[in-house]
Amino acid sequence: MSRACRRTTPRVATTLKVSLATSLLTASLAALALDSAVAHGAGTFEATRFVREISARPIGASRAVLHSEPHIAVDPNDPTVVVAVFHERGNDEVCALPPRSCPLATGFATSHDGGRTWITGILPGVSLAEGGDFDRASDPVAAIGPDGAVYVQRLAFNTGNCRSAIAIHRSDDHGLTWSAPVLVQDDPACSVVGAGRNDKDWLAVDTFPGSAHYGRIYSAWDRWSDVPPLSVPVVLRYSDDRGLTWSELVTVSPPSVGLGAGAIPLVQPNGKLTIVYFAFPIGQSAVLEVSQTSRDGGDHFDAPVTIGSSQGKDVTGLGTACEPPACATATVDPITGYLYAAWQDGRFRSDGQNDVVMSLSTDGGTSWGPLRVVNPSRSAAFNYFTPAIAAHGGGVVLTYRSRREDDPNKVYMRRIASADKGMTFGPQHKLGPRGDLAFGLRVSAGSLFLGDYMGLAATAGAVHAVWCLPSRPPRRSTALQYQTTWSATIVLR
């Protein structure tokens, strides 16, 4: 078990007793929601609280904090428990393949008081930096089960023999300590016939008591085949024993989808499983965002349903482009059962920049509504990218980055919300401090990397956001790159 952790806000007294934290948070959220309702009127999402850095210690020889691709989960039965995960990356001095910056380990940050204070550490046993067997660990994602168990899944891979795996950890103390990894998938080497390279994993847990598959964990990803002709299907495994053993590999996407990427599994309240992903159909030039639904717990899937085409534009100078699956996000409202998908897209612009667009399904993924632009400003100066989305009880919140193209080193986090199931959205607000790309994480060819995704998780009372922020290093630091993990709580009425 990993117990390497520290408190990120040492001046604040924090109790880890969940019962006390629950009562304190409930009272605080009620007061904040009342204040927000008085100030802004019913149906608003205006109060942002607990904006702070939650980064873990840097690792390896690098003196910089280099974080990217964070994700976050909140306990569906205890809103005080929030767990975030993120890349701990190395720069050139600790990377085996310069000039690429490489993901060495995965950090975690856990709050037991609804995002006020955090305890941080490094997950155990996957990468060499964590005491494991793999060169790298990447693409972390978190989910919390109905019994309070916290799951973190990530990619594991080697740079030499290209061994590639999907690894999952479980925490039974609400994200404080972690089990050794269980390998959901393990392909020993690219030279092995039939083995593949695993990429872009995601995770979901069925938390609905009325479901026939209550407690089932779903792991989805895309798997590059080394057997000609080239194909990259979306695949799935599931577990009914809290991640200890896993089902046989299920191929989700049909052969007509030559390449699938960015799979996001969504468990509906009725137990159906919908996977949203980007599809590159054989013989077509268009890239489509599609969904496929299983009615039997992931054993079989209906045919793909098109949500819309992807027409995202590259963001100049950033490794985070909208080449799928970099800009997709999806969620399910656990109360209404509505499904939401969003991505960055340039079809409604003539200036080469992006909007954030969203589509809604009210029938469990059988059909999807027309795309709508979420962000309010369409000025040529503003570029919007890398959205995250969460929904609960008809309320929908999105976060995304924005950049003024006439001042390209400055990057902002924005938030926007709807109180009517995504039909209309209120005003856009800044979320957290401004980022400075002059100090951002630099990867291959000198491009900057903020991450292909960010995290957002909703409960009845609040939405928890996590993102990585490039900024000027502390005064005594000699680091040229400094990118840390931040979180905030958006209080809902």
Checking if the pLDDT of 24 tops 70, the result is: no
The range of the structural domain enclosing residue 74 comes to: 5-491
What pLDDT was estimated at residue 8? Answer: 46
pLDDT-wise least confident of 95-109, 132-146, 200-214: 95-109
User: Nearest-CA neighbor of 331 among 375, 377, 424, 393?
Assistant: 393
Most confident of 22-31, 111-120, 125-134: 111-120
Decide if 330 contacts 342 (C-beta within 8 A): yes
CA dist 384 and 401 (Å) reads: 6
Q: What is the mean pLDDT of residues 448-469?
A: 93
Domain at 62, CATH number:
2.120.10.10
Any idea which residue has 């916290």 for tokens? 150
Note the pTM of the prediction, 2 decimals. Answer: 0.89
Residue burial 269-307, b: 16+ Cβ < 10 Å; e: rest = bebbbbbbbbbbbeeeeebbbbbbbbeebbeebeebbeb
Any idea which residue has 């976050």 for tokens? 72
Catalogue the E-assigned strands of 124-233.
136-144, 150-157, 164-171, 182-187, 196-205, 217-225
Q: What is the mean pLDDT of the chain?
A: 85
Chain centre to alpha carbon of residue 294? 22
Q: What is the mean pLDDT of residues 402-419?
A: 93
Domain count, the chain: 1
Q: What is the mean pLDDT of residues 91-118?
A: 73
CA dist 203 and 182 (Å) reads: 14
Checking if the pLDDT of 15 tops 60, the result is: no
What pLDDT was estimated at residue 225? Answer: 77
**Residue 187 region, left (φ>0) first, then alpha (ψ -120 to 50), else beta?**
beta
Checking if the pLDDT of 40 tops 80, the result is: no
Give tens-digit pLDDT for 346-382: 999 988 899 999 999 999 999 999 999 999 977 778 9
Amino acid at 298: G
Chain centre to alpha carbon of residue 2? 23
Decide if 429 contacts 45 (C-beta within 8 A): no
Pairing of strands 273-281, 136-144: unpaired
Question: Higher model confidence: residue 274 or residue 39?
Answer: 274
Checking if the pLDDT of 41 tops 50, the result is: no
CA dist 430 and 463 (Å) reads: 15
What pLDDT was estimated at residue 95? Answer: 54
What pLDDT was estimated at residue 461? Answer: 85
Give the full edge-to-edge strand order of the sheet including 329-332. 329-332, 339-345, 355-361, 372-373
What pLDDT was estimated at residue 481? Answer: 85
Main-chain phi, psi angles of 100, to 5 degrees:
-70, 140
Which H or E run includes 35? helix 18-40
User: Nearest-CA neighbor of 162 among 230, 228, 69, 96?
Assistant: 96
